[in-house]
Amino acid sequence: MKKIITSIAFLSLIGLTVSCSKKEEKTASELPAISVTINETAGSNSGKYVTASGKIEAENSANISTRMMGYVTSVKVKTGQKVSKGQLLATISSADLQAKKAQAEAGITQATAAYNSAKRDYDRFVVLFSQKSASQKEMDDMTTHFEMAKAGLEAAKQMKNEVMAQFSYTNITAPFSGTVTGTFVKEGDMASPAMPVVSMEGASKLQAVVMVSESEISNIKNGMTTDVTIKSLDKTVKGKVTEVSTSARNTGGQYIVKIDLDKTENVLSGMFVNAVFPIEKSVEKTTNELVLIPQEAVITQGQLKGIYVVNENNTAILRWLRLGKTYGNNIEVLSGLASGEKYVVTADGRLFNGARVSVQ
């Protein structure tokens, strides 16, 4: 009797499950079609691109230091402040230079007195020598004494000039007009030679500095036009290659390429950029075409990347992809999508695998 009851209960559960499944299928089929925009081609590219990443840098920048060792008495600027050429940035204590200056001035006074005395003696001996009252040796000795006194005075003056030149390093000024990007000392710190006090960047021009791999650097030439995408601003600007490095000795196998930008409104130094260099397709690479899709069409689930393709029944099918390099706003598809397939770019509702779509 118990076995009969158990069998009846099991059959009832199966019937209920089948009934619910049919109801769910009927509900899914009755859902309204989601309006989508598709791309009828997978973005097959008949050319070739070289892409490189880097950042925005000022064409003119400097880490300003001092030749003097001394205590910082004041810092006149703050990070982000705009300054003009010659503006005072920081000052360093000059008490020891003041003492050296006093010594130099005393030396000049002493050398001047010796020079004046030697000149008077020399002038008298010139008269005596002309009157045959002084010998040639005495005249030669007096001339030597006068020249030594003259040289001593000049040496004292140059010593003072050297001390005065040191004073310029106690008042650190801006070498060009621009923006302060960092201050590395505060009042009371000890400044020393080669230690940066203030860093600056010029406000005149910004450029993109990107790193290109050794396998692709031969395709980059001076004067090439390129598209530079500034990710934080979500915009792309035109640029022109101005410098191409020929050595990667200090850059780990990457070559530095500098790009002048056409428009730099709202662009700040340090922003991350992605540069795309279009190059001519060679005969050997005609079969190696790129499949590019817009990045906004990519679906992300954890570490998986996919895209919704549309079949002949106007049904959205989730396809997982293996992606490659980015080219501006597009990204390369290495596998999972063939050239010519239809895929969803945007949808007016939330897509899911198997959803009916209405193509716009």
Answer for the pair 220, 212: CB distance below 8 angstroms, yes or no. yes
CATH number 2.40.30.170 given to 49-59+205-280:
yes
Residues of the chain with CATH 2.40.420.20: 32-47+288-359
Mean pLDDT of the chain: 81
Q: How far is CA 48 from the centre of its chain?
A: 26
**What is the CATH number assigned to the segment(s) 32-47+288-359?**
2.40.420.20
pLDDT of 286 = 38
Beta bridge partners of 278: 49
Sheet order of strands, 198-202 included = 61-64, 198-202, 178-183, 82-83
The token pair that represents 113 in the structure block: 């007195």
Answer for the pair 37, 346: CB distance below 8 angstroms, yes or no. yes
Q: What is the mean pLDDT of residues 53-77?
A: 88
pLDDT of 280 = 62
Answer for the pair 290, 302: CB distance below 8 angstroms, yes or no. no
pLDDT, tens digit, 9 for 90 and up, residues 265-320: 888 888 899 888 887 654 344 334 667 888 888 888 888 888 888 887 888 888 88
Answer for the pair 330, 39: CB distance below 8 angstroms, yes or no. no
Q: Is the pLDDT of residue 62 over 70?
A: yes
**Amino acid making up residue 323:** L
Residues of the chain with CATH 2.40.30.170: 49-59+205-280
Residues of the chain with CATH 2.40.50.100: 61-93+170-201
Query: In CATH, what is the architecture of 95-167?
Result: Orthogonal Bundle (1.10)
Q: Taking the alpha carbons of 117, 120, 124, 126 in that order, is the dihedral positive or negative?
A: positive
Nearest CA-CA partner of 179 in 48, 83, 304, 66: 83
Q: Is the pLDDT of residue 22 over 60?
A: no
pLDDT of 284 = 41
Kindly report the CATH class assigned to 61-93+170-201: mainly beta
Q: What is the mean pLDDT of residues 211-240?
A: 87
Nearest CA-CA partner of 262 in 238, 244, 296: 238
175 three-state secondary structure: coil
Residues of the chain with CATH 1.10.287.470: 95-167
Start-to-end CA distance of the chain, whole Å, equals 62
Q: With a threshold of 0.75, does the pTM exceed it?
A: no
pLDDT of 30 = 62
pLDDT, tens digit, 9 for 90 and up, residues 150-188: 999 999 999 989 888 888 788 889 988 888 989 999 998
pLDDT of 12 = 53
